[in-house]
Structure formats: C-alpha cells, structure tokens
A and B are shown apart, each in its own frame.
Chain A
Amino acid sequence: MKRTFADLHLCPNVKDSEKVSRIVSKASKLGYRLMAITLPSNITQEETQRLRNICKEAKIDLASRVDLKPETPRELIQNLRRLRRKFEIVAVMCESKNVARQAAKDRRVDLLNFPSLDFRRRFFDNAEAELASNSLASLEIDMKPLLTLEGPARIRLLSSLRREASIAQEFHVPIVISSGVSYELLMRKPRELAALASLFDLDEALALEAVSKNPMSIVKRNREKLGPKFVAPGIRIIRRGKDC
C-alpha cells in the first residue's frame, strides 16, 4: 500500500499569503499529502478558511495546529480548555519540567516538543515517556536544527535525540518527525527526513512511520473527535431522528 506522508510542523507567517502558498506548493511537490501550519491562537475562521483554500488549490490537506508555550502546568490546563476544540493538533513546547510532566499525562495534548538548543531543558526521560505512553501524546522531533546547526551543537543535539528516540521506543511512545521550518529551501522530501533519523539510530521502518502513519493517525483521531458525530471514544452517533 502506498504511504501518505505528512509534515505536522510548518511555521510560515500566516499573514503573508504569498509565502504560505509557496510553502504549500513546495510541500505538495515534495510528496506530502497533509501538512499542519502553526496558527496563532486568536486566528479567525475566515483566515483559516483562506489557508484551507490555498492548500486545496495545491491538492494538499491542511490541519490546523497551535503551539502552546505555557510557563506553569496551570496555564497549560487553562490553554487546553480554551483551545483544544478549536485546533486539530495541539503541541506543547515543554520549557520546564512541570509543564512537560503535565503535558505528557494530559490526553488533550498531541505532541510534546522540546527546545533543541538548550540541552538541559530536554525533559524526555523515562518518567516523561511512561506518562506519555499512558496518554495520547507523541514525541515530536523537528529536523530543522539538524540542518542549521553545525559542529559541537549538532553533535550534542544528535546525542540527546538518540537517547530520547531509544526511550520513546522502549515505552512505545509514537515518534513524529516534522520539519519545523518557515523557509522553503529547508524543506525536505519525506524519505529524506526519514533518512536523517538514521543519524539518531532510528530504524528505517520506524522513521518512515514517523513521517506517515503516526502523524496521519493523530489528525484522523482528532478530526473524528472534533466532528459532530463524536460522543466519547468508541461511541459515535450513526443516526438522528424520531425513529431512533
């Protein structure tokens, strides 16, 4: 069966339509069938629709994504309560250990992302992975720093990623590989993103899942949940009316 590839982290300036359409057409040309653009939390429905139309023209599916950068677990919970039903993907940038732990155990969080430059603030350890494996969160790895960093910084990043990828596999936490770019020349084909994952010892099969099956299943699950027929996990409305 042919794989469908997705990139869940593209961050162009959404107000710059020209740039957005350039990135969208590039993603389509590179072989992606679904992409997620990071949107501001206060984006209007009209603006989202405008972006969807741009993607429709390029024959690519758009998923709305919001990046939360809370300073405290309380702020995270408040943000999730306010934004969860507005966006198809919720990613949390874990900049403190408390936030990382809360994000990992909250079933409303889809992606856990860690700052790539500050290696002391990459909190994806065994405890974090165990919490994430009991909820629905996946570990997101952005490939942009692997392309832009050089020398010792890249070496340190690869070492952290190798450790995190191995922990994620041990605790069965899904890994999602994204590009995390805002500039077209840093975008790569899905198979090339998967090849980059070999730098931190991720198997080819797992790496390909991380750019296809894992991101697609997050979007599918959330679209189902946000749809009008969803009642609870495993329960959905199949018919309405007086004869029911």
Chain B
Amino acid sequence: MKRVKRRYLALEIDSEEGFGSEEFMDAVWGAVLKLYGEYGASKAGLTLIDYDMEKRFAVIRIKHTTLGMIRTALATITKIGNKPAAIYILTVSGTIKVLHKKTKQ
C-alpha cells in the first residue's frame, strides 16, 4: 500500500477572545465543508495535534495533497464560535520534529 504523505501546519490564532479546541476545530471543519463539501473534507485527513490557547498556537495534520485546499479554507475563517478571529499559517512541514524546530526559530 502506498504510504500516505502528511503535512503538519503550525497555526497562529488571532483574536481578542479565547475559545476551546473544539470550537477551533469546528471552525476549521466548517470552513472546509462550506468550500469543498463533505467529499472534499473527507480527503483532507484533518487532525488536531496540538492546541494552546494561551500562546494562540495550534498544530494540525493533513494529507499533503490537500495543502492548497486547507490553506484556502483556513483563510476564509473570520469567526471561531461567533467570536471574530483569523487563522494564519506560520509554517508547514513534513514532520512534527522539523515543524517545532521551524516554529522555535
């Protein structure tokens, strides 16, 4: 079986309000579903790896073929749990180890 290549995305959450990881993931799933539908979302392999609201930082994992799709969907997020917010991609990496190295830099 062909190995599934993945991408890890370090995200910055910009908002004056706070919210939980569920609200955050609901917003991400909602954006993907709105733009690409259930068929597109099923291809993304979207998983939350790390979430730190204090640092306004999150890490998600996706399938590498859907990077463009997820980048677009994340850019359309303007609210998380009805609170104004924006999500920016800080860095993208193939392994979590390199992702942490890059974000520390």
Q: Which residues of A contact B (CB under 8 A)?
A: 30, 146-148, 150, 185-189, 191-193, 195-196, 198-199, 204
Closest 5 CB pairs of A and B: A192-B75, A195-B71, A195-B72, A185-B86, A188-B75
Question: Contacts A188-B86, A199-B35: A193 and B78 contacting too (C-beta < 8 A)?
Answer: no
Question: Contacts A147-B76, A147-B78: A204 and B86 contacting too (C-beta < 8 A)?
Answer: no
Partner among B74, B76, B84, B89 whose Cβ is within 8 Å of the Cβ of A146: B76
The contact string, 1 if C-beta is below 8 Å from chain A, for chain B 19-54, is 000000000000000110000000000000000000
Q: Which residues of B contact A (CB under 8 A)?
A: 14-15, 34-35, 68, 71-72, 74-76, 78, 84-86, 88-89
Do residues A185 and B74 form an inter-chain contact, with CB atoms below 8 A?
no
Residue pairs across A and B with CB atoms within 8 Å: the count is: 42
Do residues B88 and A189 form an inter-chain contact, with CB atoms below 8 A?
yes
Partner among A30, A147, A196 whose Cβ is within 8 Å of the Cβ of B88: A30
> What are 10 A-B residue pairs whose CB atoms fall within 8 Å in the complex?
A150-B34, A185-B15, A185-B78, A187-B86, A188-B88, A192-B71, A192-B72, A195-B71, A196-B72, A196-B75
Do residues B89 and A192 form an inter-chain contact, with CB atoms below 8 A?
yes
Do residues A148 and B72 form an inter-chain contact, with CB atoms below 8 A?
no
Do residues B78 and A148 form an inter-chain contact, with CB atoms below 8 A?
yes
The CA-CA distance from A45 to B72 in the complex, in Å, is: 39
Interfacial chain B residues near A189, Cβ < 8 Å: 88-89
The CA-CA distance from A199 to B35 in the complex, in Å, is: 9
The CA-CA distance from A11 to B75 in the complex, in Å, is: 20
Interfacial chain A residues near B75, Cβ < 8 Å: 147, 188, 192-193, 195-196
Do residues A186 and B86 form an inter-chain contact, with CB atoms below 8 A?
yes
Of all chain A residues, the one with the shortest Cβ separation from B75 is A192
Interfacial chain A residues near B35, Cβ < 8 Å: 199
Do residues A196 and B86 form an inter-chain contact, with CB atoms below 8 A?
no
Interfacial chain A residues near B68, Cβ < 8 Å: 195, 198, 204
Q: Distance (Å) between the CB of A151 and the closest chain B CB?
A: 9
Of all chain B residues, the one with the shortest Cβ separation from A30 is B88
The CA-CA distance from A198 to B73 in the complex, in Å, is: 11
Interfacial chain A residues near B84, Cβ < 8 Å: 185
Q: Distance (Å) between the CB of B105 and the closest chain A CB?
A: 16
Do residues B14 and A185 form an inter-chain contact, with CB atoms below 8 A?
yes
Q: Distance (Å) between the CB of A158 and the closest chain B CB?
A: 10
Q: Distance (Å) between the CB of B82 and the closest chain A CB?
A: 14
Known contacts A150-B34, A188-B86; 16 additional CB pairs below 8 A are A146-B76, A147-B76, A185-B14, A185-B15, A185-B78, A185-B84, A185-B85, A186-B86, A189-B88, A191-B71, A192-B72, A192-B74, A195-B68, A195-B71, A196-B72, A199-B35
The CA-CA distance from A123 to B78 in the complex, in Å, is: 29
The CA-CA distance from A192 to B90 in the complex, in Å, is: 11
Interfacial chain B residues near A196, Cβ < 8 Å: 72, 75-76
Interfacial chain B residues near A204, Cβ < 8 Å: 68
Interfacial chain A residues near B71, Cβ < 8 Å: 191-192, 195
The CA-CA distance from A97 to B89 in the complex, in Å, is: 40
Interfacial chain A residues near B34, Cβ < 8 Å: 150
Q: Distance (Å) between the CB of B17 and the closest chain A CB?
A: 11
Of all chain A residues, the one with the shortest Cβ separation from B79 is A185
The CA-CA distance from A192 to B71 in the complex, in Å, is: 7
